[in-house]
Amino acid sequence: FPLTLANDPRYESVALGLEVEGEVIIDDETFNQKEFLAKVAASPKCPKSYCPSPENFKEAYRTEAENVFVFTLSSKLSGSYNSAELGKRIFLYATPILQAAEKHSLPLWRLSGPRKVCLSKKSARS
């Protein structure tokens, strides 16, 4: 996430997690790469990483924005895309327009909700 956008309220980052020797480190604005690499170097075990939960993405979708665009790591490299997709489904299911569609058996593709959530797979080469 570019530092130039960190304080721009139009952008939000959903952080990945890292684990070294049982210590969970969140890759957010508080992440200290030098400290992380020192911990990795001192550990006999390989570090672990994990993608954000669908709940993290669902909460990031709560916005007044008309459109939401999500960029994730490649689905071939990380579970981030799947988490973002599931978070989108959970978020959309919780909105009243989708609940009404389900109640009245309306096709979802005909509904126009207050916002659109678009996911984009990023190429492994990017």
Q: What pLDDT is stored for residue 98 in this prediction?
A: 58
Tokens at residue 78, please? Answer: 């990380």
Query: Is 16 within 8 Å of 51 (Cβ atoms)?
Result: yes
Residues 6+ apart with CB under 8 A from 50: 16, 17, 18, 19, 79
Band of residue 68 on the pLDDT scale cut at 50, 70, 90: confident
Q: What are phi and psi of 72, to 5 degrees?
A: -125, 170
Portion of the chain with pLDDT greater than 90, in percent: 27
d(CA 1, CA 22): 26
